[in-house]
Structure 1
């Protein structure tokens, strides 16, 4: 099989393309090398290149933008499946670069789907990267009302430092529960809306044109090759960059908000299963570990393992669109696809650190935080 991977030179894409190539697939990488993500001279594709810099046999690398029908049409030629990873990432930035996020994520996906709908092609499978961000707040349970679907926390409540989620029925404090695929999606940022767009558009068009499509809702991905110079990327990379520059990791709210941190190689495992298994067709799956970890704990673990005597700086401030708790229920992907996360957080963080310590880490967090504050998105 020949696989087209949009965003294939990126953090997740590069690991995926290496894995697919080792498994005997021909791989066509399509990427626009977004400067914010591909800063510096570090290439994610080194393992797929010969000593002379040319791609290995079975690897093709195309520069291109998903918003270009001409470029994307050429990339689709003779491929058997598409793994659509290309997207602008970052919740905070999406709230003021609205046109750019919608243009790349929603419109770029529309271009891909329109080509599949209107041109002759050989695509027999479409896997799209969705995101846990589309849920908004994760699952919650009220001691009085049972399982509930919380909405975004009220700004007045947050200004008082009252961080926990409230029951939407009786207003009591609710406890977090694992978030399953049946929870209603309530995106709280432009980024999240565009990821919902990508997911729903791919599933709808796939069904209409008999192209088996799968949407994978990735939780908080971390690992080597995640851009250390992008202050809107994963929190583990942002904290690593801060610590490498001997700066304290900055933690919003009280630091006790929780996420599900999943290593990039487990993401690759899930994508590969979705590509290969017919049981995945037409379905949506969470991809995480099923274990919640507080943001404060991530900062503490990183500092300890990097031997930096730097405590996290707890801001007791909040950012517009942030959710309190969201971690994955992965029962569905376990049962249907046989997915089993293999990398424990403490081990995976060592993997990230070993790579990060060889990089030139530009800490741009303060600039990004100032931009959010100036726009009233962090307060």
Structure 2
């Protein structure tokens, strides 16, 4: 068996590969990483340079491959979004369907395809909920990827699987999310507060208690990278994953009121209420539990404690992974 992975040097890829290589179930598999900006330097992994937008590069990388894990993505980069999210996906799928060895294609999707906090869903968001991208090129490319994989399954009968994840946390990411410093995944504090107020909250070490359009504490979906990795491993080479779309998230969304209460009680941090134009949503992971027997281990309190206990070394700077 040979696994081709894209986005291997990103947040998910760099956590997935050590877990995969140490898993007894995948002993004897070989791994090839198709890299573009950052080359992978890792024992037991063949690293090749190429572009997803180049059909010949993709075809060469697919040689003798049995399984594909497509993690590569770009975020709000219009000049790259179509190359990676549309043309890259198309090239991978074309090479996959034409291959005599290809067996399974796994796509890493995102809850941006259902608009997460930008759109109001009255019911839990299941895999059958309508796709509703939020504004921006990233979300629309993730919708296109999901649909393209779905249609290739109809057209050519390929064995595909999409794992749809919300905002992915590792290390002290969640602590940064709960600060008033610049956010990569939102919200943009300058769109909600005057700069003087933002500066004061940073100085005070305050925690935001976000409220949705209805005035109630906002609930937003997250997943810890360790749980996402375990879901990928559960889906990989699993017949139960064939043709399926799975929401991969915490059992219940993070409630900003629970965060505020926990951090105020355990660390005496000041809390500030912030009105937002967003909607609370609940990404249901029940299907992954039923078909893959996958269950996340990290809940809200664990997410907080992992972030606050992590000590970032001088040689471990915060990384914005995109573009991959």
TM-score normalized by the length of structure 2: 0.76
Whether 1:221 aligns to 2:201 is: no
Asked whether the equivalents of residues 263 and 345 of structure 1 are also in contact (C-alpha less than 8 Å), the reply is no
RMSD: 3.6
Relative to structure 1, is the Cα distance of residues 279 and 297 closer, same or farther in structure 2, using a 3 angstrom cutoff?
Answer: same
Whether 1:333 aligns to 2:269 is: no
Residue aligned with 2:134, SS: coil
Relative to structure 1, is the Cα distance of residues 315 and 358 closer, same or farther in structure 2, using a 3 angstrom cutoff?
Answer: same
Given the alignment, which residue of 78, 90, 105 partners 1:98?
78
Whole-angstrom distance in 2 between the partners of 1:346 and 1:126: 34
Whole-angstrom distance in 2 between the partners of 1:27 and 1:234: 34
Residue aligned with 1:276, SS: coil
What residue number does 1:316 align with? 275
What residue number does 1:142 align with? none
Matches within 5 A, 1:243-262: 248=206, 256-262=217-223
Matches within 5 A, 1:184-203: 184-190=130-136, 191-203=138-150
What residue number does 2:229 align with? 268
What residue number does 1:55 align with? 42
What residue number does 1:82 align with? 68
CA shift, 1:105, in A, is 1.4
What residue number does 1:70 align with? 56
Given the alignment, which residue of 230, 242, 248 partners 1:287?
248
Unmatched runs of 5 consecutive residues or more in structure 2: 188-198
Relative to structure 1, is the Cα distance of residues 18 and 200 closer, same or farther in structure 2, using a 3 angstrom cutoff?
Answer: same
Given the alignment, which residue of 266, 275, 298 partners 1:343?
298
Relative to structure 1, is the Cα distance of residues 298 and 78 closer, same or farther in structure 2, using a 3 angstrom cutoff?
Answer: farther
Residue aligned with 2:107, SS: strand
Unmatched runs of 5 consecutive residues or more in structure 1: 35-42, 46-53, 139-150, 153-164, 166-173, 236-241, 365-379
Residue aligned with 1:70, SS: helix
Asked whether the equivalents of residues 126 and 283 of structure 2 are also in contact (C-alpha less than 8 Å), the reply is yes
What residue number does 2:195 align with? none
Greater shift after overlay, 73-82 or 219-228?
A: 219-228
Matches within 5 A, 1:141-220: 152=119, 177-190=123-136, 191-220=138-167
Residue aligned with 1:189, SS: coil
TM-score normalized by the length of structure 1: 0.66
Relative to structure 1, is the Cα distance of residues 31 and 230 closer, same or farther in structure 2, using a 3 angstrom cutoff?
Answer: farther
